[in-house]
Structure formats: structure tokens, C-alpha cells
Structure 1
């Protein structure tokens, strides 16, 4: 099985973290993990293909924002809160505090209707 790269705490760069958090989908994923704890990739209700969500998760992981744990066929995503707070005190809290959850017209963050399939 392929090993997933997670940067060491000392190697997490501010520019990479800010870039990772600059995308609305990635910010939504981080917010959901923060509010509900570690989650599998398929638990996020976003209007994108699974491969695109995988790309977003990879960007967050390689920036040092999340940790990905393989559990059977699932990947469980969790925040690296301690590492981020050690490197950049208050950054994650500030970003999440300023985050405005997307509304229904944005097309994600809302529960799926029955019968609707996700990518």
C-alpha cells in the first residue's frame, strides 16, 4: 500500500496552509472536520467528482492542514490542530471564525435529496 506523505510539523509552511485554505471546498471540508470530528471522504456533501475531492484532500494533507488515515477502503480525515497551533498560533481559529458557511444557492453544504447520486 502506498504511504501518504504528511509533512513534519517543522516543515509546515504558512504559504502552503493559506493556499490550501483559500479554496471554498477545502475550507468547507476543514470546517466540517472541525465541527464534527474526523470524517471519511464520502461524508462530505459537495457538488464535485470524487476524484476532485481527492485532489482537495491531498492539497490539505500536503500542506499539513489535515491527517489522512487509511481504514480499510476508507480514508479518514482529521485536522492537525496541535501542529498548526504550534506553528501558527491562532491561525486556524481565526480562519474558521471568519468562515461563512455556504448557503443553498452555492450548491454544497446542504443535505442531498433522496435519489440524487453523488459523483
Structure 2
């Protein structure tokens, strides 16, 4: 007889626990900003393997953890895939206009210096 295992659940801060300084820290790294830009542009859940990042797998895992712990993204397991979704509703409610402003600034900077970052907010 086999017993069903409970789905893996990751800790996420509640909306009330999300702090501005944590969000700003999470968005201050170019790799994390690229992840957030991709999530904002796609507007849907994306698997970790979707992202083509210039860092190792362990470093990628670190960047996703920073974003999750800051409350910028939510990560959900579906089978063996870990899906990521931007917590736009929470961020917009807590810090109106912040996410769009940061992504717009990142996009402008990317155009200025020829980097990919924060595509369509």
C-alpha cells in the first residue's frame, strides 16, 4: 500500500509581511530584475527552466529564493516542475506604481547600454 505524499510547499511572506526594503533589495540585482521582467512580460506562471540566465543553476536557485522571500514572486510545485509567478497584485497594492517604474527604468537602461532587463512592464 502506498500513501500519497503531501505536495511540496514553499514558505512565502503574507502580503502584510512584505517590506519595501526587501523588495528593493530583490530588485537591485540585474539577474533578478531580468527574471521579474520576464514574468511581468509573460503575465503567467513560468517554470525555472524557462529562464536563460548567465549564471549557474545553484546561483539561479539563490536568485529565485531571494525573490520569493522578499514577496516579489510566488513559487508553486506542479509535479516535478517549480513554477514562478509575479506577485503583481500584492506589490501594486502595497507599493502602487513601484514595479512598473522599476521595470520601465530597467528597460530604458537596457536600451541605453544594450542589455536585456525588465521587458514590457
When normalised by structure 2's length, the TM-score is 0.81
Q: 1:56 aligns with which of 45, 63, 78?
A: 63
1:16 aligns with 2:22: yes
SS in 1 for 2:66: helix
Contact kept, 8 Å, 2:67 with 2:73, in 1: the verdict is yes
Task: Specify whether residues 44 and 102 from structure 1 end up closer, same or farther in structure 2 by C-alpha distance, changes over 3 A only.
Answer: farther
Counting matched residue pairs gives: 107
Query: CA-to-partner distance for each residue in 1:76-96, whole Å, 9 max, x for gaps?
Result: 100000100111111101101
1:77 maps to 84
Stretches of 4+ moved more than 6 A in 1? Answer: none
More helix by share: 2
Task: Specify whether residues 45 and 102 from structure 1 end up closer, same or farther in structure 2 by C-alpha distance, changes over 3 A only.
Answer: farther
Q: 1:67 aligns with which of 64, 74, 87?
A: 74
Query: Superposition RMSD on alpha carbons, in Å?
Result: 2.0
Alpha-carbon shift at residue 49 of structure 1 (Å): 1.1
Alpha-carbon shift at residue 18 of structure 1 (Å): 0.1
Q: 1:87 aligns with which of 94, 107, 111?
A: 94
When normalised by structure 1's length, the TM-score is 0.82
Alpha-carbon shift at residue 2 of structure 1 (Å): 4.7
Query: CA-to-partner distance for each residue in 1:7-51, whole Å, 9 max, x for gaps?
Result: 000110000000000000000000001111321001111121111
Alpha-carbon shift at residue 65 of structure 1 (Å): 0.2
